[in-house]
A and B are shown apart, each in its own frame.
Chain A
Amino acid sequence: MFELSPEGKELVKKELARYEDKYSAIIPSLYQIQKENEGWVSPEAVDHLSELTGIPHSHINEVLKFYTMFNLKPTGKYHIQVCCNITCSMFQARELTDDLCQKLGIKEGEVSEDGRFTVSRVECLGSCDNAPAVQVNETYHDNMTPEKMDTLISELK
């Protein structure tokens, strides 16, 4: 059973009080859960948050499933998120993703055998001026090319 830490619960409480609509507390609370739950949000965690906030689980689930920055399954040590929204797609981000998956021998969303990598397509990272943009865990990498990707992967141990 997942349960937020006392600090986590404190954060949720604060967020609830901060906005006039308590639904606004969903995103920061899910971030907190993801942080405390090894990088992903489990169904039990949604139930827990629902109980904590009184927000129906269906509506927490709506937010959870809308945003790509929340993971619905455990990810590898390095979560490589390739933006495939309009601008990045125009700069070959989709091809970049396919290429990456092939090199790592995994499908999108899967964890590589050594537990190091997960690749997923995400929506606009707000870095369109540097398309194609890639985010590895919390770090941005701009103007990616297959070559730069190779170097990056070899550096991620």
Chain B
Amino acid sequence: MPKCTVNGIEVEVKDGATVIEAFMKTNESIAHYCWHPGLSVAGVCRMCMVEIEGNPRLQIACNTPVQDGMVVYNNSEKVKEAVEWTLKFHLINHPLDCPICDQAGECGLQEYYMSHGSYDSEMAERKVKKHKVVDLGEKVVLDTERCILCSRCVRFTDEVTKTNELGIFNRGDRSEIGTFENRPLNNKYSLNTVDICPVGALTSKDFRFRQRVWFLKSFETICQGCSAGCNVQAYYNENGFYRVKPVPNEEVNGHWMCDEGRDVYKFANKEHRLVSGIKKEDSGLSHMAPGAAAVQLREDLSDTKKAALVLTGQYTTEEYLKFVDSFTKNYGNEVYHWINNPKTFDDFDGILLRGDKNPNTVGLLRVLEGKGIKSSWADLEEKLNSGQIEHLVVAGPENLAVFPDLEEKVTLFGQAQKLTVLTPVKSKFYESADYQIPMKSFMEKDGTFVNHKGIEQKLGRGPIVVSQALTLLDLSMILDGSDFISVNSASMGGSL
């Protein structure tokens, strides 16, 4: 393990590590555009210049291996001047359209201009005009004038997805990122190119122009989209959630996440949510506070001889533990696991995406096993078909998009004399249920998801969207006899 000195700080790095990695380890800042820890080295942006003692010329840190005893710095006048010049070159043809650029506020060019800018244009030449608002398919938009040709996006499609859609076409100051014959960039991970693009050249159709990034707050949590359990940063303000981006975790998702997972913030927003408890009465549907509906459900269940519970893999381990416990204690051992897509459940695309579109199937199975519950879906179907179940309680999904069998299953459940659906989101299929009780979404609660590998990961609680919605923990307390519901509305962001 070679040792080197970075701006006077001694640091030990892995064999074969590069100088930029030594900088990362010391937290000394170093300008860079093309280097990315999840991609190969390109060495094309020339921003990462450093001075190495004993070496008369400046070197790029990203492509220079650390040698034992190396003394490196990037705070000398020589380096500062070099980086300033490099940035000037990057900006020669830049359109400077920050006011209409979606990257503004989190842009590498703006950021380094603050530290390395010359604040005085020396260019008399006309700028080269290139293509703007290039439609790259379903999800991504390209502005080639803003591109600094760092090639991160090209390396991503070459090395990570291996779909090779992107290339750099033409020469010199006319070089542009593009796809052959304008074919779409429609791989399942395309939005990662937007994240790694250090400037506003690649932007997301979903997020574009919806919010300036400085109006957003964020917190870290776990993607709800499948059993991979990618680590994500969720962005929100008082109007709701706006986007999620991946957070690096070597063990789980590397640096990336899939495009499907980018949509998981949507159903947590108010317009998709069930906000009040609903009870079906002879006179029609009556709306009430979620806690009140839960209390009525408890009374209703208390005269039931044959109740059963159906669980989806969409809740936290803590919720399963407590809820399965109170349900079985109060109403017996009928607990079933609803698998939404049995045919593709075990699929894996070789990168991240799992066929099991639930974040916590493993957590659920562990709890059921721990409680010694062995039940089969066929059993439940038979009991429902033969009218043996009086009251069925279903802890339904929040991500309805990955439950193609929803309508069919709700029809099946309807064969119980009474049906209760616990659900964070609204659905027209639930209208026939006797009780609908609003639940919190994964964005609004603490707890654990266990991914397909068995790695336990904690959710980070964000702002509350539906303040009276319950968790399965709240509901367990009610089923156990409490009329008092602890609504945990204290949170990082407060209520939306």
Instruction: List the interface of chain A (C-beta within 8 A of B).
Output: 43, 46, 56-62, 65-66, 123
Q: Which residue of B lies closest to A67 (CB)?
A: B171
Known: A58-B179, A60-B180, A123-B171. 18 other contacts (CB 8 A): A43-B180, A46-B180, A56-B164, A57-B181, A58-B164, A58-B166, A58-B167, A58-B180, A59-B164, A59-B167, A61-B180, A62-B167, A62-B168, A62-B169, A65-B169, A65-B170, A66-B170, A66-B171
Give the interface centre of B166, B167, B170 by most chain A CB atoms within 10 Å: B167
CA distance A57 to B167 in the complex (A): 9
What is the 8 Å Cβ interface bit string for chain B, positions 89-102, against chain A (1 contact, 0 not)? 00000000000000
Chain B neighbourhood of A61, CB < 8 A: 167, 169, 180
CA distance A59 to B180 in the complex (A): 9
Q: Which residue of A lies closest to B154 (CB)?
A: A58
Min CB–CB distance B152 → chain A (angstroms): 15
CA distance A64 to B167 in the complex (A): 11
A56-B164, A58-B164, A58-B165 known; A43-B181 Cβ under 8 A: yes
Instruction: List the interface of chain B (C-beta within 8 A of A).
Output: 158, 164-171, 179-181
CA distance A144 to B172 in the complex (A): 26
Chain B neighbourhood of A59, CB < 8 A: 164, 167
In the A-B complex, the 7 residue pairs with the closest CB atoms: A56-B164, A58-B167, A65-B169, A57-B180, A62-B167, A61-B180, A58-B180
Chain A neighbourhood of B181, CB < 8 A: 43, 57
CA distance A61 to B180 in the complex (A): 7
Min CB–CB distance A67 → chain B (angstroms): 8
Chain B neighbourhood of A56, CB < 8 A: 158, 164, 167
Min CB–CB distance A83 → chain B (angstroms): 14
Min CB–CB distance B149 → chain A (angstroms): 12
Task: Label chain B's interface by main secondary structure.
Answer: mixed
CA distance A59 to B179 in the complex (A): 10
Chain B neighbourhood of A66, CB < 8 A: 169-171
CA distance A145 to B169 in the complex (A): 33
Min CB–CB distance B186 → chain A (angstroms): 14
Chain A neighbourhood of B167, CB < 8 A: 56, 58-59, 61-62
Chain A neighbourhood of B165, CB < 8 A: 58
Q: Which residue of A lies closest to B167 (CB)?
A: A58
Chain A neighbourhood of B164, CB < 8 A: 56-59
CA distance A58 to B165 in the complex (A): 6
Q: List 16 A-B contacts (CB under 8 A).
A: A56-B164, A56-B167, A57-B164, A58-B165, A58-B166, A58-B179, A59-B164, A61-B167, A61-B180, A62-B167, A62-B168, A62-B169, A65-B170, A66-B170, A66-B171, A123-B171
Min CB–CB distance A127 → chain B (angstroms): 19
CA distance A56 to B180 in the complex (A): 9
Chain A neighbourhood of B169, CB < 8 A: 61-62, 65-66
Give the interface centre of A59, A60, A65 by most chain B CB atoms within 10 Å: A65
Min CB–CB distance B177 → chain A (angstroms): 10
Min CB–CB distance B159 → chain A (angstroms): 12
Chain B neighbourhood of A62, CB < 8 A: 167-169
Min CB–CB distance A121 → chain B (angstroms): 12
CA distance A91 to B168 in the complex (A): 31
Min CB–CB distance A32 → chain B (angstroms): 19
Min CB–CB distance A52 → chain B (angstroms): 15
Min CB–CB distance A122 → chain B (angstroms): 11
Chain A neighbourhood of B166, CB < 8 A: 58
Min CB–CB distance B130 → chain A (angstroms): 13
Chain B neighbourhood of A43, CB < 8 A: 180-181
Q: Which residue of B lies closest to A55 (CB)?
A: B164
Give the interface centre of A46, A56, A57, A58 by most chain B CB atoms within 10 Å: A58
Chain B neighbourhood of A57, CB < 8 A: 164, 180-181
Chain A neighbourhood of B180, CB < 8 A: 43, 46, 57-58, 60-61
Chain B neighbourhood of A46, CB < 8 A: 180
CA distance A82 to B347 in the complex (A): 57
CA distance A129 to B165 in the complex (A): 41
Q: Which residue of B lies closest to A50 (CB)?
A: B180
Chain A neighbourhood of B171, CB < 8 A: 65-66, 123
Min CB–CB distance B154 → chain A (angstroms): 8
CA distance A57 to B171 in the complex (A): 18
CA distance A29 to B169 in the complex (A): 18
CA distance A19 to B166 in the complex (A): 24
CA distance A137 to B158 in the complex (A): 36
Give the interface centre of B165, B170, B171, B180 by most chain A CB atoms within 10 Å: B180
CA distance A65 to B172 in the complex (A): 11
CA distance A58 to B180 in the complex (A): 5
CA distance A65 to B168 in the complex (A): 9
Min CB–CB distance B494 → chain A (angstroms): 47
Give the interface centre of B158, B166, B169 by most chain A CB atoms within 10 Å: B169
Q: Which residue of A lies closest to B165 (CB)?
A: A58
Min CB–CB distance A117 → chain B (angstroms): 24
CA distance A61 to B168 in the complex (A): 9
CA distance A132 to B165 in the complex (A): 39
Chain A neighbourhood of B158, CB < 8 A: 56
CA distance A43 to B179 in the complex (A): 12
CA distance A46 to B183 in the complex (A): 13
CA distance A46 to B179 in the complex (A): 13
Q: Which residue of A lies closest to B179 (CB)?
A: A58
Chain A neighbourhood of B179, CB < 8 A: 58
Q: Which residue of B lies closest to A58 (CB)?
A: B167
Min CB–CB distance A82 → chain B (angstroms): 16
CA distance A83 to B152 in the complex (A): 33
Min CB–CB distance A81 → chain B (angstroms): 15
Q: Which residue of A lies closest to B164 (CB)?
A: A56
Min CB–CB distance B325 → chain A (angstroms): 55
CA distance A59 to B158 in the complex (A): 10
CA distance A121 to B167 in the complex (A): 24
